[in-house]
Amino acid sequence: MSNIKKVLSLVLVLVMVLGVSATRVQAATGEGTATINGGTNVSFKISSSNTITVVLTVGVTGIAIDADSPTFTVPTGFTTPDASPVANAGLVVADGNWSATAAGGTCAVTMGSSSATGQVMTVDVTGACATTNTITLTYKGSAPSTTLSATNFDVKTDDAIGGGAAASITTTPAHTVTAYHNIIQQPAQLVITTIATPAIPADTSITPATPATPATPATPTTPEVVCSPGQMFRATDGAKCTSNTSSTQVFCPPGQMFNGTTGERCNTVINAGAPGASGYTFGSGVIKLGTKGEACRAWQHFFNDKAGASLVADGWCGKLTIAVAKAWQKSMGLVSDGLLGAMSRGKANQQ
């Protein structure tokens, strides 16, 4: 019986040992992958302030609560992380600020128990993280003032106590610092097009010009009724005559209505003598300054009709009549002496 007890006791011890060993399955440290700002290498401009996001995807054996905490090391030259993180990524607003969150299953981290020393930020895992769960670190800092070749943003993990210190994961993202921003993706081609200048709309504030006042239509004139000499009414329609076909003076003796030679209606009465070839009765004497009578009146009518004068046919040859006579004599090539004699009558009878 005692042997049986011994055997049972041995079996119980083995089961306990095996049971304890099963909860301590340990895998190699340094599992998982990480990206930085969505890639494996990111470039920054010297002295520029940047917000950096590192996403750690947990490896196949996970991270136990009692494992060494994962660490994130920012390259030397970047702003040193604050000793204590802020509560969440929304508060990462100044250089040195940092924070972390976990996602998936029971995976959880606590900022109150996380801390940083130098360039190393240690994130306290307070909920077991299984494979493919993620821990996201957000950090803000300025790049170095000098260029920096590709340098790892070192991420270390451990799976459980007893597995050794946390080790760098196989796929570690890197930083590069350049004198200018490294454009990873080819930018779209810049196309410059000429945009036509739109037409400037008419200024409606300008007062339109006032339209011109239409011309006042001419007052219709009474049509002229031209008749043959001697007629008082036109033979074709009986209209009262307003003028006859003669534009010259028709000289007649007193008492006559029609010229005895031409039959034209009289318009000038003469007292003596007969009209010359011109139709004017100049007489046979010399007309000069101071002459009075019908001969002077005939010359006044002549000057009005032929020389365009506007003399009063009053039969008195005064200074104005003689001045017109001199001008007419000059125009006809005669001596301009104001003496209207035979040579002047001869020229007048030719007009």
Tell me the pLDDT tens digit for each residue of 107-127. Answer: 999 999 999 999 999 999 999
- Asked whether residue 16 is domain-assigned, the answer is no
Percentage of residues in the chain with pLDDT exceeding 90? 43
Q: Does a structural domain hold residue 72?
A: yes
d(CA 253, CA 273): 9
Range scoring the smallest mean pLDDT among 27-41, 249-263, 283-297: 249-263
Per the structure, the count of domains in the chain is 3
What's the pLDDT score for residue 249? Answer: 59
In a domain, 338, yes or no: yes
Lowest-pLDDT choice from 67-71, 129-133, 142-146, 189-193 = 189-193
User: What percent of the chain lies above the pLDDT cut of 70?
Assistant: 71
Domain co-membership, 239 together with 345:
no
Residue 4 lies in a domain: no
Domain harbouring 88, CATH code: 2.60.40.740
Residues 78 and 128 in one domain: yes
In a domain, 211, yes or no: no
Same domain? For 68 and 112 the reply is: yes
CATH number at 311 reads: 1.10.101.10
- With 50 as the cut, is the pLDDT of residue 327 above it? yes
Do 163 and 52 share a domain, yes or no?
Answer: yes
345 plus 244 within the same structural domain: no
* Per-residue pLDDT band at 290 (split at 50, 70, 90): very high
Looking at the domain assignment, is residue 50 inside a domain?
yes
The parent domain of residue 115 ranges over 33-178
Residue 20 confidence (pLDDT): 28
Residue 197 forms part of a structural domain: no
Report whether pLDDT(25) > 50. no
Residue 97 domain flag: yes
**Mean pLDDT (the chain, rounded):** 78
Q: Between 83 and 253, where is the model more confident?
A: 83
Are residue 323 and residue 245 in the same domain, yes or no? no
- Predicted confidence band at 83 (pLDDT cuts at 50, 70, 90)? very high
Q: Flag the least confident range among 21-30, 31-40, 107-116, 328-337.
A: 21-30
19-33, 109-123, 179-193: which has the minimum mean pLDDT?
Answer: 179-193
| Mean predicted confidence (pLDDT) in 164-190 | 59
